[in-house]
Structure 1
Amino acid sequence: MSQEITTGKSTEQRLRLWASALLLTGLMLYGLGYLHINDAESAMRRLLLAALTCGFYLYSARRGWATKWACGISLLFSLYVMLGIGRGYGYPTTVLAASALETDVQESWEFLLNLDVTDIALGLIAAALAVFYGRLRPQALRRFSAVLWVALAILNVFGLFTVQAIKSVVKYRSEHAVLEAKPGAVDWQIERVERNRNLKVLVIGESVNRRYMSVMGSPWKTTPFLDASPHVAAYAQYHAPAPNTVTSLVRTLSYSSMADGSFDPDRNVMALAHAAGYTAHWISNQGSVGKHDTKIAWIARQADTYRFLDQPPAVAPYRDDFAMLNVLRSQLETPGTIAPDAVIVLHMMGSHPDACERVTDMPIAFQSGQGHHIDCYLTSLRKLDLFLQALDGLLQTWRPDQHEILFVSDHSLRVEPASDWERWKEQWHMPNKNIYVEPNIQEAYDTALLHIDTGRKEAMRNATPISGYDFFHLYANWLGVKSRMVQPDKNLIAPTSSAPIQVYNWQRMVPWSELPDAPVFAPAPAEGGGAVSAAAPAR
């Protein structure tokens, strides 16, 4: 009888061990990004990785100290699972390393305060399973090889994650070290510069999905100023080079190639402005120079003057894009600071998630029925419209009918209709992740390009496919630069097609047309366009 009881307990222990090992394996592979739908890993490699990870758990159970080590490793990685990075973006890459190292304290807090409850739950479940596994005391267990255990401890999802994370950081550091150097000498092969007397302002937006801009044909009335202005040219088929800020903007603002995704940071918008004889100024509401400076800040520092709003002295409204207009107004009012035909760059925080943090000073102007977060996002596009209207008004007082504004956004976002689960979370005031970066979908690259020219008397809507890899040529022709390096047919008046469009999806260049598309939700007819009110933000 006692032997039967012992055998029964042994069988029960083995079942618990196998169950915990399998569940932990699945959770860790999923939470760390190795079952991500966009992974380049083949199914066989994922199966092999799962087998090695499960084998690590099963073999560790043969010794108490090995079990504790496996439990501790699992608990450590459970914390990462809670962040939702693996589930949302996949395994470690240079892009993720750059995003982590280049973020500031404010963005980090925003990220932590908006963790998805699903990711937190997965992390807590993984931690609970790890503790359960660590408390198992299976009988044991034949021979145990420390060498084999070390091999299994390395050859599993944790080992692969660690190696890829280190490689990503090292690669990022090597790129960062190069970009910290002074810009190299560039022969622009300029033949002549046909300058006009207009003040030129380049506005760099953030996370703008043109599919929800009424000036681009959307039924959402998000851009009433741009809709009504006769000076606006809207390019309804502009595609960002890449799906996030780090990878996209450096290609947008540098001389780059759609053929292979390469770019030359020395040949950038500031360097060309200087070569063409312009004075250049940069005002940024994004990250400043510092330990984790971005590639874009490196370009910004090449301006004649640059100002980052996260550096003292503070400018009201604090860390709001409209504060850049106050800085610009002060510079315009200071004699000799800005030449009448200078080039000015304004780098917005824009609709950067969390969008609700960008519109705290104005009423939520839309009721989409898709959750508060999307209402905030649509309102942030309205705020962009108000920003461009205010900028145009400011320039009109200083350079009446002699100014131009060129707006380009770094990338778009996936704006996903709320599921029943997300609606439930909305009721309990839980943050949703239905607005996010998604590298393998067309919508991620469908962003905005606009040109406001006081000399234009009739609005223009252009549907020519334009690649962000050709933005540098548009910019150069805007400055009037004639050079063998600049394609004259890539201009803002009548741009030639960039088709077939290719984009960089964090891993390789892919045809945009071959990426899957996603539905865009429209306002309910009874809501009359979804708009409630369009009050300007308080200043």
Structure 2
Amino acid sequence: MKGFVSNIIKPLFSKWDFFLAVWLGVLTLSLGYRINIIPLLALFMGAKLLAKTSQLLYKLLVIIYSLIGFLYAPTGIIYGSPDVNVVGSFLYTTLEESIGFLKQTPFYAFLLGLVVLILGIALATEKKSTHAVASKKSLMMLSVFFVVLVSFGPMKKNRIDLSAYRFISDLVTAYRTVSTQNQGYAAIIQKKPIWQPVIKSRRYHTYLLVIGESVRRDYVHAFGGQFNNTPWLDSVPATLFNNYISAGPATVISLTNTLVYKQDREKQLNNSVVTLAEKSGFETWWLSNQGVKSHSDSPIARIAKSANHTGFINTGKADYSASSSDENLLPLLAEALKSPAGDKLIILHLMGSHPRACDRTQGRFDSDIGSKELSCYVKSIAMTDSLLGKANQLLSNSTANWTMMYFSDHGLSYIDKNSSRAYLTHGDSTKQNYQVPFFILSSDSTQRRVISQRRSGLDFITTFAQWLNIDDPAITGRCSMLSKSDCDEVNTVYDFNERLTNYNVLPSIP
């Protein structure tokens, strides 16, 4: 036994193995995965086996993964491993948004990335031959350890569940998905819409659809939030939907599953609320405070460009800085309202409460609620309420026959909750990621109503058609979505990978 240990086991390990194990652990965290002991041991044995057979390849991979871990750690800590949302956000983002993301990232995420880099450099540059080639028996034993650990731990659904391998696999899979989607979007947006609407009667001549950004319903006073940040919405005879859930947890995932018609889960961007309105005789406007680029437009920008008239405040970029105020949309709205066109659908796409909230408010807030960023978030909702009030006034001044609909694209999750560093960011693991405000106000509204029946962004095309008071053969009019009718509840939402998940089983973290 003593000879077995000294001749076979002992040569396999060195004093540097502790640092290798630590490095693999922090690397796993930085790549967005949880630490599980068996996969981590398998990864450790695999690294040891590689070091004993090819030190050059071992050190090269350590350096490469150290750089990946260092760069990805801020994203991995907040959003987890690569998925459709992460890859899509990367493709559609710009320097301004990236800077905003880095500003709100907690310091410990950068520290973790730095630890990965420093340990990796140390492992790759240590000069002593601590990974000297072992005997054939030692290598055989190491291989057995590795195979056994992989077979009984990390093998899931016929794939190797090792963080270093999974990161590359998940990244490639997500990129292919987003790339395939974009190619499909580019092709399908060119096709003619299938709409054949039948207009029952034109209730209003001007329809204003306002799409908010990153607003949690429990932070809106009019919907029961504790902070008095919606004085305008509190005072008007609107119809409030206090059980509306978004289709997804992030802008692109949510709005592409909200604003377009789907057949067999294929999102047909040519069959959107914009083209439905146009086929119904409306002149359409899309006025946006979110960016548009010529080379990598998101599917939302593609939908926007299908409108008769477009107005992007931030052409050529996606400006998430403090200078990009939603108030800048009001002159564009005023011009659209002055247009001599008959029936109009005007869509305002706000920056709203997009993280970082303090960029939206220029660092100002009305009351300190324990965290500067959360205080700014409350203020950003107050600013949206003020904007909606001004839009309401513009509508009233321009026409006597109008209606306004508002909803937010998704909610947010806490980071470092109950601390002075607390802030809100995108997430898909709680009900609050999907609970958003939704209301309708019209020129002939006389009383305030609350609809508590479940409504979903996945049914929005039906809701939108009923708002326009039209029928279409492609749209299922199975229920009166704008009333208190008990419609069949939609209990599914999309997660970051655009997989349907059961909303009802998600935890609630108010």
Q: Where in structure 2 are the equivalents of 1:425-436 lying within 5 Å?
A: 426=421, 434-436=423-425
Match of 1:449 among 435, 438, 442: 438
Alpha-carbon distance in 2 for matches of 1:312, 1:16? 54
Q: Where in structure 2 are the equivalents of 1:265-276 lying within 5 Å?
A: 265-276=269-280
Does residue 467 of structure 1 match 2:456? yes
Does residue 512 of structure 1 match 2:503? yes
Deviation sequence 1:22-73 (CA, Å, 0-9, x none): 111211112112218xxxxxxxxx6564244212432343354244313312
Deviates more, 1:272-281 or 1:68-77: 68-77
Contact 1:261 1:504 (C-alpha < 8 Å) held by counterparts: no
Q: Secondary structure at the match of 1:516?
A: coil
For the aligned residue pairs, the C-alpha RMSD in angstroms reads: 3.0
Alpha-carbon distance in 2 for matches of 1:360, 1:340? 39
Alpha-carbon distance in 1 for matches of 2:63, 2:201? 66
Contact 2:405 2:439 (C-alpha < 8 Å) held by counterparts: yes
The answer for the alignment partner of 1:80 in structure 2 is 71
Alpha-carbon distance in 1 for matches of 2:193, 2:376? 44
Match of 2:60 among 64, 69, 73: 69
Aligned CA distance change for structure 1 residues 305 and 461 (closer, same or farther; 3 Å): same
Identify unmatched segments of 5+ residues in structure 2: 1-5, 151-158
Code of the aligned partner of 1:325: L
Alpha-carbon distance in 2 for matches of 1:28, 1:64? 20
Does residue 97 of structure 1 match 2:84? no
CA shift for structure 1 position 313? 12
Aligned CA distance change for structure 1 residues 175 and 297 (closer, same or farther; 3 Å): same
The answer for the alignment partner of 1:382 in structure 2 is 382
CA shift for structure 1 position 451? 0.7
Aligned CA distance change for structure 1 residues 261 and 445 (closer, same or farther; 3 Å): farther
Q: Secondary structure at the match of 2:193?
A: coil
Identity over the aligned pairs, expressed in percent? 24
CA shift for structure 1 position 475? 0.8
Q: Secondary structure at the match of 1:265?
A: strand
Match of 2:330 among 322, 325, 328: 325
CA shift for structure 1 position 340? 4.4
Alpha-carbon distance in 1 for matches of 2:61, 2:405? 55
Does residue 364 of structure 1 match 2:384? no
Contact 2:62 2:120 (C-alpha < 8 Å) held by counterparts: yes
Code of the aligned partner of 2:444: G
Contact 1:287 1:294 (C-alpha < 8 Å) held by counterparts: no
Contact 2:491 2:504 (C-alpha < 8 Å) held by counterparts: yes
Q: Where in structure 2 are the equivalents of 1:141-220 lying within 5 Å?
A: 141-142=133-134, 156-181=162-187, 182-220=189-227
CA shift for structure 1 position 469? 0.9
Code of the aligned partner of 1:391: A
The answer for the alignment partner of 2:477 in structure 1 is 487
The answer for the alignment partner of 1:429 in structure 2 is none
The answer for the alignment partner of 1:57 in structure 2 is 47
* TM-score in terms of structure 1 length: 0.81
CA shift for structure 1 position 256? 4.2
Alpha-carbon distance in 2 for matches of 1:139, 1:206? 53
Aligned CA distance change for structure 1 residues 159 and 416 (closer, same or farther; 3 Å): closer
Aligned CA distance change for structure 1 residues 99 and 139 (closer, same or farther; 3 Å): closer
The answer for the alignment partner of 2:254 in structure 1 is 248
Alpha-carbon distance in 2 for matches of 1:103, 1:25? 30
CA shift for structure 1 position 300? 0.7
The answer for the alignment partner of 1:116 in structure 2 is 106
CA shift for structure 1 position 323? 0.5
CA shift for structure 1 position 498? 4.2
Code of the aligned partner of 1:233: T
Q: Where in structure 2 are the equivalents of 1:284-299 lying within 5 Å?
A: 284-299=288-303
Aligned CA distance change for structure 1 residues 441 and 493 (closer, same or farther; 3 Å): same
CA shift for structure 1 position 131? 2.2
Alpha-carbon distance in 2 for matches of 1:51, 1:11? 17
Code of the aligned partner of 1:403: W
Q: Secondary structure at the match of 1:252?
A: coil
The answer for the alignment partner of 2:312 in structure 1 is 308
Aligned CA distance change for structure 1 residues 308 and 293 (closer, same or farther; 3 Å): same
The answer for the alignment partner of 1:354 in structure 2 is 356
Alpha-carbon distance in 2 for matches of 1:322, 1:12? 69
The answer for the alignment partner of 1:222 in structure 2 is 229
Contact 2:451 2:483 (C-alpha < 8 Å) held by counterparts: no
Q: Secondary structure at the match of 1:343?
A: strand
Alpha-carbon distance in 1 for matches of 2:285, 2:354? 23
Alpha-carbon distance in 2 for matches of 1:314, 1:102? 9
Code of the aligned partner of 1:449: F
Code of the aligned partner of 2:479: D
Alpha-carbon distance in 1 for matches of 2:477, 2:231? 34
* TM-score in terms of structure 2 length: 0.86
